[in-house]
Amino acid sequence: MKQSKSLFFVVILLVLMGCTGMKKNGYVPVNKNAIPEAVQLLDFLYSIQGKYTLTGMHNFASDINRYDQVVDSLTGKTPVVWGSDFSFNALGNNQCEFRHCGPLNLTVPGNKGISCGELSLSPIQQRQLIIDTAIKRHSEGRIITLMWHCCWPTNGDDCNGDDIWRWADNLPSQQEWDELTTDGTALNGIWKKQMDGIAMCLRELQNAGVPVLWRPFHEMNGVWFWWCNKPGENGFKKLWIAMYDYFTNYHKLNNLLWVWDANAPRNNPGDEAGPYADYYPGSEYVDVLAADVYHSDWKQSHHDELLELGKGKIISLGEVGNLPSVEVYERQPKWSWFMPWGYFIQNKENIKIAKDIYNHPHSINLDMIDFTDRIYKLKK
């Protein structure tokens, strides 16, 4: 009888693990058809969870290697995580106001002495440069993370930055939002056409066997982007699930690990970011939970609340402005990677702390990665 009861509980446990996507050493990708490279990358992230943090760096398409070189000059290290942005083509008389996100057609921020001029390459050529560089960096053992500052769908990939940075008083109405997220509407169709262009880029990476930490619609709990400030079941959650479904089931993009990347919650008047849970689409649609931390806002709650929401899933720092202090870094050990946002790495605060953080015993740089047979593991 004891043996029967034991067997019964084992079976129940296995069933529950299957239902939640769990396995012995963590979770499987939410996309059950994920390519082996994506499965292995997620396994690697779980293998270092709470023990180490991968170093990272964001690079803009218009100067694709610049900030990796800055990190090397400051620390003597090459980051493991390589990030970039599919971005947009900036229009209008105020183009330079949006240079901080690296529009595809403008010179990169942080280049002293270079004006905010237009580049000779087209947005299509710039995105191809991102793809080609991502493939090359992956072959070196780097881990690729990509995102997308996208225009409101009716403008495709070409818009004034004010079309993206709407702020609270100019966000889409609930009627517009419902049309956007309802399959079969005119606006939903336009949005899918816009997404098709990005899907083609991601497919090229899939064909090359490159897994991608994909973090679309970041900082959705803030009040600044058009996709922000829509909490609840009929809000951001519907947008995320619609993209997940379109990329996964229609485009068959199986190289993506889905990184849900909120802003660290804050109560700054006019610059608020709501609670994580109000915007979380559910564990069945998320592989990694991330936070963006700016203004040196290193509250312990930003780390701990994300851990609680993820219930064991990987957490990371999708973007940071200033790096954490060594004390904070050691007090928040579950971040699986961090990634400074482009030119922020050149801030005087980061110049002071970068060497300590990138060379910290808790940090993993590229020189510690063994990528033999295109499998991520730590060097012995």
* Residue range 150-192, pLDDT digits in tens: 999 999 999 999 999 999 889 999 999 999 999 999 999 999 9
The verdict on 258 and 213 lying in the same domain is yes
Q: How confident is the model at residue 364 (pLDDT cuts 50, 70, 90)?
A: very high
d(CA 134, CA 131): 5
Domain containing 80 — which CATH number?
3.20.20.80
Q: Are residues 248 and 263 in the same domain?
A: yes
CA–CA distances in Å: residue 317 to residues 184, 274, 307: 35, 17, 12
Is the model's pLDDT at 20 over the cut of 70?
no
Q: How many domains does the chain have?
A: 2
Do 17 and 118 belong to one domain?
A: no
Q: Per-residue pLDDT for 351 more than 50?
A: yes
pLDDT of residue 78: 98
Looking at the structure, do residues 79 and 7 belong to the same domain, yes or no?
no
How far from 216 is each of 140, 212, 266, 346, CA to CA, in Å?
25, 12, 21, 25
Do residues 1 and 104 share a domain?
Answer: no
**DSSP-assigned beta bridge partners for residue 315:** 289, 335
- What does the pLDDT read at residue 25? 63
Same domain, 53 and 157: yes
The answer, as to whether pTM is greater than 0.85, is yes
53-81: average pLDDT: 96
Residue 204 lies in domain = 31-378
What is the model's pLDDT at position 281? 98
What mean pLDDT is predicted for residues 282-310? 97
Regarding whether 70 and 2 lie in a shared domain, the answer is no
* Same domain, residue pair 343 and 314: yes
- Same domain as 157, residue 14: no
Which residues are annotated as catalytic? 219, 319
Percentage, residues of the chain above pLDDT 70: 93
